[in-house]
Amino acid sequence: MDNQEVTTNEIMEFLQINMVTRDEFVDFKNDTETRISHIENQMVTKDYLDDKLADIKQLKD
C-alpha cells in the first residue's frame, strides 16, 4: 500500500469542495418540504376510499 495518510489540509480542501453551505441546505430542505406537502395534498385516505366504495355499493342496490 502506498502512502494513505491524509493531511488536514487535504481534508479541509475536500470539505470546501464537497460540503454544502447552510443556505444551500436550507434551500434543499425547503424544497423537499414543499414537494412533500404537495404529495400529501394529493393523497387519498383509506377512509375516503371506503366511503366512496360504500356510496357506489349503495347506488347499485
Stretches where the chain sits below pLDDT 70 are: 1-3
Please give the DSSP secondary-structure letter assigned to residue 59.
H
Q: What is the pLDDT of residue 3?
A: 66
Domain boundaries, the chain: 21-60
What predicted TM-score, i.e. pTM, was given to this entire model? 0.55
| CA-based nearest residue to 10, from 1, 18, 20 | 18
* pLDDT value of residue 61: 77
Residue 1's pLDDT is what? 46
